[in-house]
Amino acid sequence: MKIAIVILNWNGKALLEQFLPSVISFSSEAGIYVADNASSDNSVEFLKTHFPQVTIIQNSTNGGYAKGYNDALKHIKADVFCLLNSDVEVTKNWLSPIQEAFINEPNTAIIQPKILDQKNKDYFEYAGAAGGFVDKFGYPYCRGRIFNTIEKDEGQYNDIADVFWASGACLFVRSSVYKTLGGFDEAFFAHMEEIDFCWQTKNLGFDIKYVGTSTIYHVGGATLSNTSPKKTYLNFRNSLYTLVKNASGNIFYLVLVRLLLDGIAGIKFLLEIKPKHTFAIIKAHFSFYSHLSTLLKQRKSQNRLPKYYSQKSIVWTYFITKKRYFKSL
């Protein structure tokens, strides 16, 4: 099985210098690529000088995560693509359990390893943790992380499990499935495009797995901090995009409930004296409504299978019933 590890880079020389050595040291069975999104620092020159064994693909523009990978993967031939963030430290033998799972389970299209916090290695990392799910209103959560409650890694997720989505921080996907879906939806630019992609993969009848015997450490927020209003904007907008495109049932009811719940989130930000995040949510909704007709056309053209996502509201479960850990859901 030929695996291509593809690291998307945008002005990330410092991250490449810190984390690329671990990828090279522990990934001898894979080809390693850096897809550069038109960086204005000297990332490319740095790679050519210090890491000549890495293949560089230079994208002409910074199209974010979605377009960046779509442009780069056209130039790579492999059985499996590993889409790896530049702020990830990998570990010894991290690829072997992933390869084994793909070989033994032909219906598995996407795999995510265990993702721990590179800055606090005893805890799971926000973006993916031990595999993701969405509730019926499109809000994402993870085994090991629900909203801002992050679990300590005590071996509770050292398993192989079916999940709904895999984190874009480290997402393994069969190239055949990636090509069938036509890659990522470039309207997302960044954030949650992997959830949309995984949802479409599920709707094709494929499985998505978490493999807890493979471990990586992710910095998180290295490109866009969790405190950034732009990240709030992209997360709220793209969550609505994903919901309309993929969810089964009465989509107008789901969007109406989301309008209410997102409004409550906006009020919460105001009470926390974070008005920029409130305005980011408002901006996200206006952008969503302006693209609604396109999203509805995409919805009509896609196959949708019910029951692949939680029928509960994670907002209600977390904030009202106070269930903060995955095992209590």
20 vs 34: CA distance, rounded Å:
10
Q: Where are the alpha helices (DSSP H) in 247-274?
A: 251-271
Q: Please give the pLDDT value at position 249.
A: 85
pLDDT in tens, 65-93: 999 999 999 999 999 999 999 999 999 99
SS3 label, residue 181: helix
Q: Please give the pLDDT value at position 222.
A: 57
Q: Please give the pLDDT value at position 227.
A: 80
pLDDT in tens, 5-46: 999 999 999 999 999 999 999 999 999 999 999 999 999 999
Q: Please give the pLDDT value at position 306.
A: 61
Nearest to 46 by CA among 38, 61, 56, 33: 56
Q: What percent of the chain has pLDDT over 70?
A: 97
Q: Please give the pLDDT value at position 223.
A: 62
74 vs 31: CA distance, rounded Å:
15
Q: Where are the alpha helices (DSSP H) in the chain?
A: 13-25, 43-50, 64-73, 96-104, 175-181, 193-203, 229-246, 251-271, 275-290, 292-301, 314-315
DSSP letter for each residue of 148-161: TEE-B-SSTT-SEE
